[in-house]
């Protein structure tokens, strides 16, 4: 095998500089709060640094980072520790948990907050494709490569995810 063909896609510093926003955005979309997103972000680049993956091309490197981010977020949110821990914040009168000030995440407008909240309620597979398509400006083919699924599956998940988002946002800010 040719030594040039199998190379580390980027140094850890270069990977962080190029893909930090993407990794953090995916982590935030899948965890729902800053603290967990930061933990996932650090874990992804720690794994990248330790493994120094040998990948050919930037698209493969990007796909590796997306897959690793999704896996780290899934592991974090599904951990048994998370199911057993009691939050250090109080429940509000309406029964919802009030986040600690440092974990609270808000966008510039109420509409953006509503879209993010609706996105958080979607199943993980729809959240992933919607985030990659709309926030990372990836094509259906690029998403299919990154997630290791067929392009047709990506199209179906985009369609179903959009329909669920439309249903969740109907009547609030986005009437149809």
Mean pLDDT of 152-166: 93
Helix residue spans in 52-139 (DSSP H): 58-78, 80-84, 110-121, 124-130
Mean pLDDT of 4-26: 81
Higher pLDDT, 115 or 17: 17
* Environment class of 68 (CB within 10 Å of its CB; exposed 0-12, middle 13-18, buried 19+): buried
Write the DSSP symbol of residue 102. T
Higher pLDDT, 22 or 110: 22
- Integer Cα distance of 20 and 100 in angstroms: 25
pLDDT of 161 higher than 80: yes
pLDDT of 14 higher than 70: yes
pLDDT of 144 higher than 60: yes
Mean pLDDT of 43-59: 87
- Integer Cα distance of 105 and 127 in angstroms: 18
Mean pLDDT, rounded, of the chain:
80
- Integer Cα distance of 6 and 84 in angstroms: 43
pLDDT of 119 higher than 70: yes
| Residue-level pLDDT at 24 | 93
Walk me through the domains of the chain, giving residue ranges and CATH numbers: 1-105 (1.10.1740.10), 107-176 (1.10.10.10)
pLDDT per residue over 73-115, tens digit each? 988 887 776 666 665 554 444 444 444 444 555 667 777 777 8
């Amino acid at each position: 095998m040719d030594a040039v063909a199998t190379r580390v896609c980027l140094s850890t510093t270069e990977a962080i500089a190029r893909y930090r926003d993407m990794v953090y955005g995916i982590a935030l979309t899948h965890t729902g709060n800053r603290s967990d997103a930061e933990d996932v972000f650090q874990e992804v680049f720690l794994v990248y640094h330790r493994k120094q993956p040998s990948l050919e091309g930037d698209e493969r490197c990007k796909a590796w980072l997306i897959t690793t981010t999704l896996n780290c977020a899934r592991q974090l949110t599904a951990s048994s520790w998370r199911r057993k821990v009691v939050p250090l914040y109080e429940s509000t009168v309406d029964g919802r948990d009030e986040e600690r000030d440092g974990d609270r995440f808000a966008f510039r407008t109420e509409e953006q907050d509503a879209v993010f909240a609706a996105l958080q309620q979607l199943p993980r597979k729809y959240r992933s494709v919607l985030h990659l398509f709309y926030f990372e400006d990836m094509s259906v083919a690029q998403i299919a490569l990154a997630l290791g699924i067929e392009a047709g599956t990506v199209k179906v998940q985009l369609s179903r995810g959009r329909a669920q988002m439309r249903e969740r946002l109907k009547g609030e800010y986005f009437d149809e």
